[in-house]
Amino acid sequence: MSDTNKYVCVSEDSRAISETLGRIGDKWTVLVVGALRHGPLRYNEIRRIVNGISQRMLTLTLKGLEQDGLVTRTIFPTVPPRVDYELTELGRNLIVPLTALYEWAVEHRSAILVARDEFAKKEREAALQPRFATPK
Amino acid sequence: MSDTNKYVCVSEDSRAISETLGRIGDKWTVLVVGALRHGPLRYNEIRRIVNGISQRMLTLTLKGLEQDGLVTRTIFPTVPPRVDYELTELGRNLIVPLTALYEWAVEHRSAILVARDEFAKKEREAALQPRFATPK
DNA sequence: CTGTATCCACTAAGATACTG
DNA sequence: CAGTATCTTAGTGGATACAG
């Protein structure tokens, strides 16, 4: 509403952020949106692309995305039934920041793995240098 | 490593993405990183900024971030003790895509809320147009 | 083919109390 | 101040079976 606080306070906007991230932050949503970035797909096509997703999670994820206006759901009354999912304008828009995150992930993954390794090493060393005794 | 598949397949990279998003995708991590973006903070300072986080979650989140090399933890052996948390190069780097997401969230929040509203409305209508009967 | 419904294991997360 | 430990509860997510 008021534009007086743009970079002021985290807690102010944290509700907005939490809310949005709660939706798009989980891995399935991101992966499904990623799968749809090139065009509409059918239910089982998404399922094949997003490896490891269960029917339940796919259905829930898609429903959530539809609810939030990120994808459209088109039913073709044929037999067997066919349902297409496609990103809306809003959904396509989301791909931009998501791609940024995606690229960050790919680019820095090795750095993270290295950091984890070193952290584990340090922890082990710390465990070997107790001040006096570290009973149980 | 091989560059033959860049935009080919989601399932290929989905492990990398899931892994990374699993770390940075949850709301607390995002909010904590956001809190630290302007400089180092102490434990309880973060706690105040990130409204509603429990001690447990803050500790876990910080430990995770430290583990992955996104923040540093500096202990000042004073009394009372003082511990500063600060973003590393990697962590500061993460702010870029995170800010993009942040801005997307702020910018499109209202659109999402509208979409949710309309979706709910449609559902209600659909419930009023049963084919024959919708017992129970 | 495109879902829904149910059950169940697992985990995440908050509240609370205590420690260095 | 900066955590740790423990308990309990709510939600997540997978497997399976079934329905339109």
Would the Cβ of A81 be found within 7 angstroms of any atom in strand D?
yes
Q: What is the pLDDT of residue A119?
A: 93
Rounded to the nearest 10 degrees, the angle between the axes of helix A89-128 and helix A27-35 is 140
Mean pLDDT over B93-116 rounds to: 90
Q: In this predicted model, what pLDDT tens digit does every residue of A1-17 receive, in sequence order?
A: 433 334 444 445 666 77
Q: In this predicted model, what pLDDT tens digit does every residue of B46-93 receive, in sequence order?
A: 999 998 999 999 999 999 999 999 999 999 999 999 999 999 999 999
B49 touches chain A (CB under 8 A): yes
Identify whether the C-beta of residue B5 lies closer than 8 Å to the C-beta of residue B12.
yes
Through-space separation of residue A85 CA and nucleotide D18 C1' in angstroms: 24
Amino acid at B130: P
Would the Cβ of A77 be found within 7 angstroms of any atom in strand D?
no
Place B123 in a pLDDT band, splitting at 50, 70 and 90: confident
Neighbour-count burial for B17-34, b at 16+ CB within 10 Å, e otherwise? bbebbebbbbbbbbbbbb
CA distance linking residue A73 with residue A17, whole number of Å: 26
Q: In this predicted model, what pLDDT tens digit does every residue of A52-88 receive, in sequence order?
A: 899 999 999 999 999 999 999 999 999 999 999 999 9
Instruction: Please list, in sequence order, all residues whose beta carbon lies within 8 angstroms of the beta carbon of residue A136, skipping any fewer than 6 positions away.
Output: none
Q: Does the pLDDT at position B24 exceed 50?
A: yes
Q: Does the pLDDT at position A49 exceed 60?
A: yes
Instruction: Give which of A9, A17, A61, A65 to mutate to test B binding, by max B Cβ within 10 Å.
Output: A17
Structure tokens at B72: 């540093």
Average pLDDT over chain B reads 83
Q: Which residue from B5, B21, B28, B10 is spatially nearest to A104, judged by alpha carbons? A: B21
Q: What is the pLDDT of residue B132?
A: 47
Residue with the larger pLDDT of the pair B102 and A136 = B102
Mean pLDDT over A38-60 rounds to: 94
Amino acid at A25: G
CA distance linking residue A131 with residue A26, whole number of Å: 42
Q: Does the pLDDT at position B16 exceed 90?
A: no
Q: What is the pLDDT of residue A27?
A: 80
**% helix, strand, coil for chain A, step of 5:** 65, 10, 25
**Residue at shortest CA–C1' distance from C4:** A56
Identify whether the C-beta of residue A10 lies closer than 8 Å to the C-beta of residue B31.
yes
Q: Which of B11, B23, B106 lies nearest to residue A13, judging by beta carbons?
A: B106
A43 burial via Cβ count (<10 Å: 0-12, 13-18, 19+): middle
B93 touches chain A (CB under 8 A): yes
For A28-32, A45-49, A60-64, B124-128, which range has the lowest pLDDT when averaged over its residues? B124-128
Place B4 in a pLDDT band, splitting at 50, 70 and 90: very low
Quickly tell me which residue has 């903070």 as its tokens: B41
Q: In this predicted model, what pLDDT tens digit does every residue of A104-134 receive, in sequence order?
A: 988 998 999 999 999 999 888 776 665 444 4
- Which nucleotide's C1' atom has the smallest distance to the CA of A80? C1
Q: Does the pLDDT at position B7 exceed 90?
A: no
B84 touches chain A (CB under 8 A): no
Nearest-5° angle of CA A111, CA A114, CA A119? 125
Place B12 in a pLDDT band, splitting at 50, 70 and 90: low
- Which nucleotide's C1' atom has the smallest distance to the CA of A45? C1
Place B11 in a pLDDT band, splitting at 50, 70 and 90: very low
Q: Considering only CB atoms, which chain B residues are within 8 Å of A20?
A: 104-105, 108-109, 112
CA distance B128 to chain A (A): 19
Share of chain B above pLDDT 90, in %: 54
Neighbour-count burial for B41-55, b at 16+ CB within 10 Å, e otherwise? bebeebbebbeebee
A51 touches chain B (CB under 8 A): yes
Structure tokens at B48: 């105040």
A3 touches chain B (CB under 8 A): no
**Residue at shortest CA–C1' distance from C3:** A59
**% helix, strand, coil for chain B, step of 5:** 65, 10, 25
CA distance linking residue B95 with residue B65, whole number of Å: 13
